[in-house]
Structure 1
Amino acid sequence: MCKNFVHQIHLNHGAELCFSEIEFLSCSTGINDSVLTKLIESCNSIKELKLIIELENNNHGIIKLIEAQRKLFNIDIIRHTYANESFCKILENSLIKHASTIQNCKITSQPLTNFLSSFVNLKELDLGSTTLTDTSWNCLENLSLPFLQILKSSSIPIGDLTRLIKNTNGELIEIKIDYTRHDEIGNKNLIQTIYQKCPNIRILTVLIRNCNILELEILLISCQYLNRLYILISNLQDPMFDWDKLFEILTKSSPTSLYKIIFHCHKLPVLETFKLFFDNWKRRHPNMFLKIIYNKSMNPDELIESYKSEGILVKKFIYHQRTENFE
């Protein structure tokens, strides 16, 4: 329901019964009073709530809707960068009532309160930012989420994410970190923290700086449950990236559970380097899935097709700006 949703839903026969069974609701916080009143009266079984916080004219009645829910499991808060801070703080604090039941949380802006620290049973956290990546998310510094299993982020400073991972209890099974700027030290600290604190990691998306390829080897040896690895490579930061070393480490040190590898890069290595990697991997782990995302400057189609016939499943995708999912 967008903020311009003004239908007289109370006039629809059976509306109360229908609304009483709603489990997912996505609406603007600028929603019309008459519509919101009917939702507050009828809806108390919402399990997943998505709120779009407007720049202005937010309806404070949305707080009553939040408080009326019996078991709220998932929240998704999309906040306009310059939305009224007073309203945002009230909304965040109202979610604390559901701290014991909320398991999944997605937010697009740094919180203005410490409400995340109340989510003691949180299993999935998805952080996104519409601001510059060097804006500190200091709310993550002392955040402890002992049951966190899935962490996804977009444009969140690496140092803040590293501190968050350090404060988990080894339950993380999936981490997805995008192309956020990684300096060499920050990248090293992040990779080290993952293999020290996440022994059960199964799905990992992370950028690898050239100077930290050996840290990836330690991660592969330490994380024996890893089965899907998404490697981001920035040729802008590492124009002379050592693909030979990366492929050597992957074939030598990858756990036997690893069956899917995805490379996301601006520029591929020479075909001979790929051929050597395929040959070495085929002897070690023939049932692999390889996905390549790259720009149009290179065409390895012939090589890829030759290895498909030998049992290595290879998918080719043209490079674009947003990272892909594993599915």
Structure 2
Amino acid sequence: MSRLNPDILILIFDKLQYDKKSLYSCILVNREWCRIVVPILWKVTWYNDEKSERKLFNTILFCLPISSKQLLIDNGVKLQLSLMTGQPLFKYISFCTFPNNSIVYKMIEMVLVDDYSSLKQMKRDLLKQEIFKLFVSQCKNIKKLDWDNTQPLSLFFGASTCFSSLRDLYVDVDFVKSDALYGMAQICKGIEKLTLHNCIQDVPGLVILIDVQRNLKSLSIHYEEFKGIDKELSKAMRKKAKTITELYLSPVNCVSPLILTSFIKLEKGLFYNYSNNEYDKEIEEFQRYLKILEFPDLQYLEIEHLSCFKELSLLIEKSKGNILEINIYTKNVNAENAGLLIKTISRKCPKIEKLTTHLDLVGLKYLKELLINCNYLEYLRLDCLHPKAEKMGDEILDIIIKYSPFTLKEIHLSETWMFSVGGFERFFDSWKGRDPVDFEIIYNDYNNYSYITANHKNIIRKYVNEKVINFSNCF
């Protein structure tokens, strides 16, 4: 039998990367197969079951250099590697994905599980340092890093080789110091996706890290507690606005809304707000800026806890008609102009595939137009905005079944609309002949009433059994 080309074997084995049992069998065939399979096995490293994880962690600790092992021994850290001797057969660590803080924490707790000494925290810190040093020294050209610990990864030996090809970086600025961020700025200038958590003040190293990036496409800023970013960081963001196509702000007032006028290439905008500050002055300012913002290339828009349907309508009006997905969430039952938004979407978003929004009596007039004009719609979620609109249920179902495109395969409707049992049955009976639909009811914690009864659930169960409904959460 002729031998398979090694490149062909790599392609075959790579398809089995999540089937570890089969890969283990392949290791035993011959040396060539073993040499090819081991890197693939270690590429998807982290396990969920405790037994396999323990073996993996012990192998990783066995790969620590002699100097690290001696340092740990000198400080009372017992690695319990007595059953492992000699040198590792492969450079296992170089095949691994770079571990996040939670993985390293589990490794540390496995080692120190029976340590109750007053020096346990010191031992934890030392072991964490040596584990991260090991990965930085042996991993090459990693593409993604979650930097959520105090370790100065960019200052460790081997960092330039490890991080030079970094494309996706998450930084928790509560932990990472400015000098370490400055060090990362000297190494990697090709970051495309940057996620910042808790950057509540100007950090010079972070400002430089953003400034040196040549092709930053995605920027996400998150705060547990709102304080707002400072002047220099805002400037750095603004300089990169012409390359950024994806922007995620949580909360929306973490930056001055004036900065948003610079993001002329934005394709994906996610603006989240805290529900308890929906009426703050900064939020009102953000909503005023929505009236003048222009994102002509917008394809994806998500807004949470902002009652600004009119302003969003103006924003969508100025897009070029390439929007594929819109998701709007609010708990403000007194919000106005939800109908105006549906009207605008029906006329300006012919390519839209997924829509989540709220429906009021005015919006009901434009629902038919939306379904007729949006021929690619696959997913529709409509939540009840005003309690007085509760009797709209059957009319909504009738409009959907008469006018929705055949692409529509997933429907979510509010529990607070009053659907008759007959209306339910008529709707699903009319759906026969189309692809099975996913039909879900939106259960909101802040609603005190629901019109979904046991009889409604029996109808759902009937049509699930008849394969008219593919999936439902309603029984």
TM-score calculated relative to the size of structure 2 = 0.60
Change (3 A) 1:247 1:40: same
Q: Which of 196, 221, 225 in structure 2 is aligned with 1:77?
A: 221
- 1:204 positional shift: 0.7
Q: How does 1:161-310 map to 2 (within 5 A)?
A: 161-181=312-332, 183=334, 185-234=336-385, 237-238=387-388, 240-266=390-416, 269-282=419-432, 285-294=434-443, 298-299=453-454, 300-310=456-466
Q: Relative to structure 1, is the Cα distance of residues 113 and 275 closer, same or farther in structure 2, using a 3 angstrom cutoff?
A: closer
Q: CA RMSD in A?
A: 2.8
Preserved contact between residue 147 and residue 169 of structure 2 (Cα < 8 Å): no
Show the counterpart of 2:256.
112
Q: CA deviation at 1:180?
A: 4.6
Distance 1:224 1:257, change over 3 A: same
Contact 2:436 2:469 in 1 (8 A): yes
Letter in 2 for 1:98: K
The verdict on how the C-alpha distance between 1:282 and 1:266 changes in structure 2, with shifts beyond 3 A counting, is: same
8 Å contact kept, 1:75–1:104: yes
* Separation in 1, partners of 2:153, 2:242: 32
- Could you list the runs of 5+ residues in structure 1 that have no partner in the other structure? 320-327
Q: What is the distance in 2 between the residues matched to 1:113 and 1:249?
A: 39
- Equivalent residue in structure 2 for 1:52, among 197, 203, 214: 197
- Number of aligned residue pairs: give it: 314
Aligned: 1:90 with 2:235: no
- In the TM superposition, what is the alpha-carbon distance from 1:184 to its structure 2 partner? 7.4
**Superposition deviation, residue 98 in structure 1:** 2.3
Distance 1:317 1:92 in 2: 44
The 1:147/1:272 distance shift into structure 2, 3 A limit, reads same
Higher RCO (C-alpha 8 Å, min separation 6): 1
Contact 2:460 2:474 (8 Å CA) reproduced: no
**Which is higher, the Rg of structure 1 or of structure 2?**
2
SS of 1:114 mapped into structure 2: helix
In structure 2, relative to structure 1, the CA distance for the partners of 1:205 and 1:35 (3 Å cut) is: same
**Higher share in helix:** 2
Deviations 1:136-183 (A, max 9, x none): 222211111111001111012223222211221211111111135365
- Report the CA distance shift for 1:84/1:277 in structure 2 as closer, same or farther (over 3 A): closer
SS at match of 2:407: coil
Gaps of 5+ in 2: 1-100, 102-145, 445-449
Cα deviation per residue 1:80-127 (whole Å; 9 max; x = unaligned)? 664255x1x432321233233211111122331523222222111111
What does residue 277 of structure 2 align with?
132
Question: What is the CA-CA distance between 1:76 and the residue it aligns to?
Answer: 0.4
**Larger proportion of strand:** 1
Q: Which moved more, 1:24-33 or 1:99-108?
A: 24-33
Q: Distance in 1 between matches of 2:471 and 2:333?
A: 27
Q: Please state whether the residue corresponding to 2:233 is helix, strand or coil.
A: helix
Code of the aligned partner of 2:468: I
- The one-letter code sitting in structure 1 at the alignment partner of 2:240 is H
Report the counterpart of residue 325 of structure 1 in structure 2. none
TM-score (norm 1): 0.85
Query: Which segments of structure 1 move beyond 6 Å, counting only runs of 4 or more?
Result: 1-4
Report the alpha carbon displacement of residue 5 of structure 1 after superposing the two structures with TM. 3.4
Of 17, 30, 55, which aligns to 2:161? 17
Once the two structures are overlaid, the 10-residue window that deviates more, 21-30 or 260-269, is 260-269
Matched residue of 1:261: which SS?
strand
